[in-house]
């Protein structure tokens, strides 16, 4: 009996440097090449100019008293200053604490207190968020917070108004090690407060580098990054993948806007584009998509949540992203564990999340923790260089997630084929059990998406007195089509899905509740549905 366990390739070799040292090496190789484009402000940096700006921010932080191991928070939408702060803290060996731009004051207070942030770099405001006011509100309860630097204000100007002294920073760099913690990312908790996944230089630098290797990045690539920097998708798969290859980071806008993203791809001749499926759906349905020249695109990454088959096909056919890659992972694994390859068939790229990345192992385990046979659904676990150091100051939570053999338990249900390719079937907590029958939402979602009037769908379970749970579908309709009701959807599914998988309830919506990273909040959908269904 063949078991569901697979090991990724041993090539290319892992990088053995810190993030700062890797940036310096890239500057030495590609100093005159363009490194960063901030479309919103029109500013541009070559790699040599980027180093100068990064060093200026690093020295400004050092002048404030920031040293190795200190926590520096950043609370802002995407922008050049975010990137500068990311690399400046890496040069100092300070631990960058990335704060979700959607947080409100009580969540901000928790993160600042739990991680012990000493210095906070923040936007003064963005959209309907008054960051400066919220910081002022929570600051009295955060005694470890010494300095607040507001981007675009005098405090930022003062921080960066200093000539770079490479000798000082190079001396600090010599004391840093690849396994030092360098980043704390708070996972979007569905119950209670989020946990701070603590990541090292080795974790995230190698993950960004190897993700880029698998889609053949070189210094000629220009990567459009509309996904948020506060999450691994933006700062690791975007920024670190770019700088480890000498490629260009293109920031289309502070927050995701489908039109501005398409415009950035066209104007900056981007070769790669990132997004979660809902972002690609929004771009594909933009009324002017055909007016943008997207011919420069060849690759990109789709991740964050399962990709509808039809969306993937359109991204390849209409946007020209013939080498687009599906990535799977989680914050605790830096984030990518599995990835499709550029030479994978279309079928594999629309039906799986690929196979284990270089220097990583993956396996499927049953409820007792034993490795499951090939083709049997169970929990996906991963092990290797990418697994976090642990949850910040939460050893008990760390032990619950990472077992004694170093396997990270993801909480995701998956099935592996004989070639090591993985298909995600849902979250353990999202599994719907109707009358003793297991219903995997992903399977039902893929079928409902074959309805010609359905743009997107999410399937959840809601309580039921008779069956324990019933299946409910939240549906987004294509423009100009009539809303579906439960009876018509059941009729569409009848005879083509097993009766227990057919949604009993249907709710037509304009949008799904989302996290800032584009993940659908099924917990919130269930709460809303339970209230409405009484």
Could you tell me the CA-to-CA distances from 447 to 96, 270, 519 in Å, in that order? 42, 34, 20
- Does pLDDT of 189 surpass 80? no
Q: What is the DSSP letter of 428?
A: G
User: What is the reported pLDDT for 192?
Assistant: 55
CA distance 257 to 201: 31
What do you get for the CA distance between the two ends of the chain, in Å?
Answer: 48
164 confidence band (pLDDT: 50, 70, 90): low
Q: What is the DSSP letter of 191?
A: S
CATH 3.30.300.30 intervals, the chain: 431-533
Q: What percent of the chain has pLDDT over 70?
A: 98
435 confidence band (pLDDT: 50, 70, 90): confident
190 confidence band (pLDDT: 50, 70, 90): very low
Backbone φ and ψ for 224, nearest 5 degrees, come out as -85, 120
498 confidence band (pLDDT: 50, 70, 90): confident
pTM of the model: 0.87
CA distance 32 to 28: 9
- Does pLDDT of 162 surpass 80? no
Average pLDDT over residues 237-255: 98
**Residues 448, 473: contact at Cβ < 8 Å?**
yes
Q: What is the DSSP letter of 72?
A: E
CATH 3.40.50.980 intervals, the chain: 44-177
- 3-class DSSP assignment, residue 354: coil
Question: What's the pLDDT tens digit per position in 52-78?
Answer: 999 999 999 999 999 999 999 999 999
Buried b (16+ CB within 10 A) or exposed e, 391-422: bbeeeeebeebbeeeebbbbebbbbbbeebbb
50 confidence band (pLDDT: 50, 70, 90): very high
Two tokens, residue 324: 């687009």
Which residues fall within 8 angstroms of residue 8, CB to CB, at 6 or more apart?
A: 355, 356, 357, 358, 359, 360, 361, 362, 384
Backbone φ and ψ for 37, nearest 5 degrees, come out as -125, 120
467 confidence band (pLDDT: 50, 70, 90): confident
- Does pLDDT of 257 surpass 60? yes
- Does pLDDT of 193 surpass 80? no
- 3-class DSSP assignment, residue 1: coil
Which of the pair, 60 or 304, is modelled with greater confidence? 60
Alpha helices in 116-237 (DSSP H): 131-138, 154-160, 166-173, 201-214, 232-234
Two tokens, residue 203: 């974790």
**Residues 105, 188: contact at Cβ < 8 Å?**
no
Two tokens, residue 531: 């209230």
**How many residues appear in the chain?**
534
Q: What percent of the chain has pLDDT over 90?
A: 81
Average pLDDT along the chain: 94
Class of domain 431-533: alpha beta
Two tokens, residue 138: 């929570």
- Does pLDDT of 515 surpass 80? no
Could you tell me the CA-to-CA distances from 413 to 236, 258, 337, 376, 444 in Å, in that order? 25, 31, 14, 10, 15
**Residues 364, 409: contact at Cβ < 8 Å?**
no
Two tokens, residue 185: 């990312």
Decide which of 3.20.20.150, 3.40.50.980, 3.20.20.70, 3.40.50.970 is the CATH code for 44-177: 3.40.50.980
495 confidence band (pLDDT: 50, 70, 90): confident
465 confidence band (pLDDT: 50, 70, 90): confident
**Highest mean pLDDT out of 224-228, 484-488, 523-527:** 224-228
Two tokens, residue 167: 């000798």
With DSSP H G I counted as helix, E B as strand and the rest as coil, what are the percentages for the chain, rounded to 5? 35, 25, 40
Sign of CA dihedral 125, 128, 132, 138: negative
Token look-up 């909480």 returns 411
CA distance 397 to 157: 40
**Residues 424, 306: contact at Cβ < 8 Å?**
yes
User: What is the reported pLDDT for 516?
Assistant: 66
Backbone φ and ψ for 31, nearest 5 degrees, come out as -55, -35
Backbone φ and ψ for 528, nearest 5 degrees, come out as -65, -45
């Amino acid at each position: 009996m063949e078991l569901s366990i697979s090991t990724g390739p041993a090539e290319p070799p892992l990088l053995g440097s810190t993030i700062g040292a890797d940036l310096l090496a890239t500057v030495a190789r590609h100093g005159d090449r363009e490194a960063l484009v901030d479309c919103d402000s029109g500013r541009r940096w070559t790699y040599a100019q980027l180093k100068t700006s990064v060093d200026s921010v690093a020295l400004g932080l050092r002048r404030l008293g920031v040293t190795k191991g200190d926590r520096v928070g950043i609370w802002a939408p995407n922008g050049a200053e975010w990137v500068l702060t990311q690399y400046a803290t890496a040069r100092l060996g300070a631990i960058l604490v990335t704060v979700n731009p959607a947080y409100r004051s009580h969540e901000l207070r928790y993160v600042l207190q739990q991680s012990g942030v000493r210095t906070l770099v923040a936007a003064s405001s963005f959209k309907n968020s008054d960051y400066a006011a919220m910081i002022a509100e929570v600051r009295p309860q955060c005694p470890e917070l010494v300095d607040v630097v507001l981007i675009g204000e005098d405090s930022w100007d003062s921080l960066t108004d200093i000539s770079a002294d490479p000798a000082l920073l190079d001396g600090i760099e010599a004391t840093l090690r690849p396994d030092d913690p360098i980043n704390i990312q708070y996972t979007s908790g569905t119950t209670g407060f989020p946990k701070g996944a603590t990541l090292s230089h080795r974790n995230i630098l190698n993950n960004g580098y190897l993700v880029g290797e698998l889609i053949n990045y070189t210094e000629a690539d220009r990567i459009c990054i509309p996904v948020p920097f506060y999450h691994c998708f933006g700062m690791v798969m975007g920024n670190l993948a770019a700088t480890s290859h000498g490629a260009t980071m293109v920031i289309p806008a502070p927050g995701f806007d489908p039109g501005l993203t398409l415009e950035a791809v066209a104007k900056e001749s981007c070769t790669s584009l990132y997004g979660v499926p809902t972002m690609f759906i929004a771009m594909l349905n933009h009324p002017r998509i055909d007016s943008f020249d997207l011919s420069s695109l060849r690759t990109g990454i789709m991740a964050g949540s399962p990709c509808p088959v039809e969306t993937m096909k359109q991204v390849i056919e209409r946007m020209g992203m013939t080498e687009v890659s599906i990535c799977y992972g989680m914050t605790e694994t830096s984030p990518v564990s599995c990835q499709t390859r550029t030479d994978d068939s279309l079928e594999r790229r629309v039906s799986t999340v690929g196979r284990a990345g270089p220097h990583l192992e993956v396996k499927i385990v049953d409820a007792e923790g034993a490795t499951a046979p090939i083709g049997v659904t169970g929990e996906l676990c991963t092990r290797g260089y990418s697994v976090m150091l642990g949850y910040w100051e939460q050893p008990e939570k760390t032990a619950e997630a990472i077992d004694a053999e170093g396997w990270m338990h993801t909480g995701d249900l998956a099935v592996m084929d004989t070639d090591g390719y993985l298909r995600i079937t849902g979250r353990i907590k999202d599994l719907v059990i109707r009358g003793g029958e297991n219903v995997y939402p992903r399977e039902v979602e893929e079928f409902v998406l074959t309805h010609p009037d359905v743009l997107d769908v999410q399937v959840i379970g809601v309580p039921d007195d008779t069956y324990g749970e019933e299946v409910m579908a939240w549906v987004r309709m294509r423009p100009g089509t009539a809303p579906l009701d439960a009876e018509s959807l059941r009729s569409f599914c009848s005879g083509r899905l097993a009766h227990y998988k057919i949604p009993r309830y249907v709710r037509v919506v304009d949008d799904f509740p989302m996290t800032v990273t584009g993940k659908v909040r099924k917990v919130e959908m269930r709460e809303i549905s339970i209230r409405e269904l009484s």
